[in-house]
Amino acid sequence: MNEFQGDLPRGSGESPSVPSPERIRIAVQRRGRLAKCSLDLLQSIGLDFDYHEGRLFAPCSNFPLELLFVRDDDIPQLVQDGVADLGIAGRNVVEEKGGDVECLESLGFGICSLKIAVRAGGPLATLTDLEGKRIATSHPSILFRYLKEKGLDSTVVEISGSVEITPILNVADAVCDLVSTGSTLKMNGLRPLATVLESEAVLISHPNQREGKQKEPFIERLRARLRSCLRARKMRYLMMNVRRSDWDSLKKVLPNLSSPTVVPLARPGWIAIHSAVPEKAVWNTIEELTRRGARDILSVPVDIMVP
Ligand code: PRT
Ligand code: ZN
């Protein structure tokens, strides 16, 4: 059964590969680092679609939406031109391409930073040492802006890939590249000098394309679902049994943001407590709760969290 409620026409999107003008179109990376997480996130907000390698479009069977699979670099332009209503791309790509797109949500994956790096043990030690030097990057616009802001006059060497080997080849004195674990820099004898941009995958749209459009309420529904899932991913749900007399002490451990559920147990003097806690703090919280008398502690993941 179709779960979407509204009067948006379904159009020709029933066909597996024919685009429909009436559906919300979301551009996602076809293959690469963001592809799987983008699809997983869309599935986690209840969207049902078939995905096969090589396919350009995938219509959704339970929401007026279709996916468009493209290279990540093309996503900001497709959104700006109105070919897609929404897109998922790295903030680095969005900032690099510039253009008139709006970041609607930060999506919590594809996390990396754009860093300037220099030869480890080499003569360049501070930002000012980059004055007059060559910096290789595949993000020239972002780097230009950064250098201008810092008042540095360096030469930007634009390169499309393998940025990290340019100092070895004497093509550049420094690099400005994406870093996640830092092992690529290390392997190439480089060390980070400055962070130019923090990046993660973001949901983008063109502000004017959405205004007053029939699709807007559906886009808002998607955003609300995304926020509920993203919020939930950061939380765990804890359940435990405690002595009523220990409750005042235990209360102090459970974060203020959650309002714990307190349920009386058949066992006299005991209660069950349920509470959502931040995933990052879950082990410390469990250990502290145990010290304060909590027993039979269960922790479960949270799928959806609507405030
Ligand atoms: O084919 P298409 O054009 O779609 O993909 P692509 O090859 O251009 O991009 P892809 O799939 O490599 O990356 C897509 C997006 O993932 C980027 O735009 C970033 O937003 C994000 N991302 C997250 C990264 C990284 N982490 C990352 N580590 N993109 C690239 N890297 C590279 C980096 O360039 C360097 O070569 O990984 C290396 C460094 O990794 P560490 O772990 O050694 O530090
Ligand atoms: Zn790309």
Taking only the tens place, the pLDDT of each residue in 275-301 is 999 999 999 999 999 999 999 999 999
Contacting residues for 127 by C-beta, under 8 A, at least 6 apart: 116, 150, 152, 193, 194
Confidence of residue 6 (pLDDT cuts 50, 70, 90): very low
Q: Closest ligand 1 atom to the C-alpha of 71?
A: 4
* Spatial contact of 64 and 4, defined as CB atoms under 8 Å apart: yes
Judge whether residue 239 has pLDDT over 80.
yes
Give the ligand with the smallest distance to the CA of 33. 1
- Mean pLDDT lowest for which of 3-12, 108-117, 158-167? 3-12
Judge whether residue 1 has pLDDT over 60.
no
Q: Which residue has the higher pLDDT, 286 or 215?
A: 286
The alpha carbon of 25 and the centre of ligand 1 are apart by a number of angstroms equal to 24
| Terminal-to-terminal C-alpha distance of the chain | 27
Taking only the tens place, the pLDDT of each residue in 172-195 is: 999 999 999 999 999 999 999 999
- Please name the residue whose Cα sits nearest to atom 33 of ligand 1: 178
Question: Looking at residue 7, what is its pLDDT?
Answer: 41
- Mean pLDDT lowest for which of 17-21, 117-121, 247-251? 17-21
- Mean pLDDT lowest for which of 5-14, 238-247, 298-307? 5-14
Q: Which residue has the higher pLDDT, 119 or 6?
A: 119
Confidence of residue 3 (pLDDT cuts 50, 70, 90): very low
* Spatial contact of 39 and 51, defined as CB atoms under 8 Å apart: yes
Q: Across all residues in the chain, what is the average pLDDT?
A: 90
For a substitution probing ligand 1, which of 56, 178, 204 has the most ligand atoms within 8 Å of its CB?
178
Residue 149's Cβ-count burial label (10 Å; 0-12, 13-18, 19+) is: exposed
Q: CA geometry: angle at 279 spanning 278 and 283, to 5°? A: 105
Question: Looking at residue 212, what is its pLDDT?
Answer: 60
Q: What is the pTM of this model?
A: 0.90
Mean pLDDT to the nearest integer, 108-132: 97
The alpha carbon of 160 and the centre of ligand 2 are apart by a number of angstroms equal to 9
* Spatial contact of 182 and 117, defined as CB atoms under 8 Å apart: no
Mean pLDDT to the nearest integer, 227-233: 96
Structure tokens at 3: 């779960």
Taking only the tens place, the pLDDT of each residue in 27-76 is: 999 999 999 999 999 999 999 999 887 889 999 999 999 999 999 999 99
Mean pLDDT to the nearest integer, 127-144: 98
Ligand 1 surroundings by CB, under 6 angstroms: 29, 32-34, 71-73, 90, 92-93, 110, 112, 177-184, 199
Where does 76-188 show beta strands of DSSP type E?
86-90, 102-106, 112-119, 134-137, 155-158, 174-179
159 closest CA partner among 143, 181, 179: 143
Q: Assign residue 293 a region: left if phi > 0, alpha if psi is -120 to 50, beta otherwise?
A: left
The alpha carbon of 220 and the centre of ligand 2 are apart by a number of angstroms equal to 28
The alpha carbon of 72 and the centre of ligand 1 are apart by a number of angstroms equal to 10
Confidence of residue 210 (pLDDT cuts 50, 70, 90): low
Question: Looking at residue 10, what is its pLDDT?
Answer: 42
Taking only the tens place, the pLDDT of each residue in 250-264 is: 988 986 555 778 899
Rounded Cα–Cα distance for residues 2 and 303 (Å)? 22
Mean pLDDT to the nearest integer, 129-141: 98
* Spatial contact of 67 and 49, defined as CB atoms under 8 Å apart: yes
Q: Tell me how far CA of residue 228 lies from CA of 28, 72, 91, 201, in angstroms.
A: 20, 25, 21, 17
Rounded Cα–Cα distance for residues 189 and 251 (Å)? 50
The alpha carbon of 180 and the centre of ligand 1 are apart by a number of angstroms equal to 8
Q: What is the largest CA-CA distance in the chain?
A: 77
Confidence of residue 208 (pLDDT cuts 50, 70, 90): confident
Structure tokens at 174: 């420094």
- Interhelix angle 35-44/216-233, rounded to 10 degrees, is 100
Judge whether residue 85 has pLDDT over 90.
yes
118: three-class secondary structure by DSSP: strand
- Mean pLDDT lowest for which of 10-19, 161-170, 196-205, 292-301? 10-19
- Please name the residue whose Cα sits nearest to atom 20 of ligand 1: 90
Q: Closest ligand 1 atom to the C-alpha of 180?
A: 44
